[in-house]
Amino acid sequence: MNYKINILAMLAVFCAIFVHVNTAEAQEFTAVKDLTQLNKEISLVAANTKTIIADFVQEKHLDVLDIVVESKGVFIYKDPQKLRWEYKTPYKYLVLMNNGKMSIVQDNKVQEFDMKSSDALKSLNDMMLNAIKGDILQNINFKTSVFENAKSYKVRLVPKNNKVNVVLSAIEVLINRNSKTVDQFTMYESDTDYTQIRFLNKKINQDVADGHFINN
């Protein structure tokens, strides 16, 4: 049960590799004209991105709730295969990925998973690496549609895997048109129930110590 949830946690973080701050204005999106060129540009940016540090704001929108459940935290990525996804408020929750292993830390307790031990985790790990390399538009595990407007590219990913499909109906990623990095990441459970993650205060290619990816 928890294992599957952790797969979803990985799904949540993999697209966040390309972090950038900007909220796209509501404009009409049309189908991308030159997908090959876009793919090349995103791959180039990803290849040159060695570290990312950013804050994030996560909003949970639910049809039945008259409030938005908001969480905030910090995101750190270091090439290759190192990731720190840390919720700071209103609760503490830490996900670490380091060279094929994932750790979840809460209440001073650590759960560890070997991402190479199962095909599902391995495919998600590969998916994450592909995302780093810029292959987000060509992932075979998702049916992908790409749209654009003056500010952003919108990538809509519909999972083909039934196990993922029952939890997520779609993922939408807004990529900044200028920087080719991700502005916003949204997971849809239905049209009205979704989780939106925005990235703030991004710093790219700053020195990041390996200690950030180890549970102390």
Partner 1 sequence: MLRTAILLIISIFIVSFHPLYGACEDSIYVAPLRVEYNTLLYKMKINFGKHFFSGLMVVNKSVGEGENYNDPDYNIVFMSEIGLNIMEYKYSNGKMKLVKHTALFDKRIVYNMMMKYCILLIQDVNRNKLEEKIKNHGYLVKTKLSKTCGVRGKSYYLYDGIHDDSLVSVNEARKIYTRGLFPMNYTLEYNEDHIPDYIMFSQNFWKLNIEVRLLKQY
Residues 182 and 175: their CA atoms lie apart, in Å, by 4
Handedness of CA 45, 124, 99, 71 (dihedral sign): positive
Nearer to partner 1, 29 or 93 (CB): 93
The sheet carrying 101-106 orders its strands as: 30-31, 142-148, 152-159, 170-176, 182-188, 194-204, 51-61, 69-78, 82-89, 93-98, 101-106, 109-114
What backbone torsions phi and psi does residue 90 show, to the nearest 5 degrees? -85, 10
Find tokens 């895997």 and name the residue: 161
Options 99, 106, 117, 192; binder of partner 1; rule CB under 8 A? 106
Listing DSSP states for 43-97 in one string gives: HHHHHH--EEEEEEEEEEE-TT-SS-EEEEEEEEEETTTEEEEEEEESS-EEEEE
Nearer to partner 1, 79 or 193 (CB): 193
Options 168, 174, 175, 204; binder of partner 1; rule CB under 8 A? 168
Closest approach of partner 1 to the CB of residue 58, in Å: 6
Options 23, 39, 51, 71; binder of partner 1; rule CB under 8 A? 71
Closest approach of partner 1 to the CB of residue 45, in Å: 25
What tokens were used for 137?
């538009």
Closest approach of partner 1 to the CB of residue 60, in Å: 4
**Binding status of residue 12 toward partner 1 by CB under 8 A:** yes
Nearer to partner 1, 107 or 207 (CB): 107
Options 28, 31, 33, 67; binder of partner 1; rule CB under 8 A? 67
**Binding status of residue 65 toward partner 1 by CB under 8 A:** yes
> Binding residues for partner 1, per CB under 8 A?
1-2, 4-5, 8-9, 12, 58, 60, 62, 64-67, 69, 71, 87, 90-91, 93, 106-107, 111, 163, 166-168, 187, 189, 193, 195
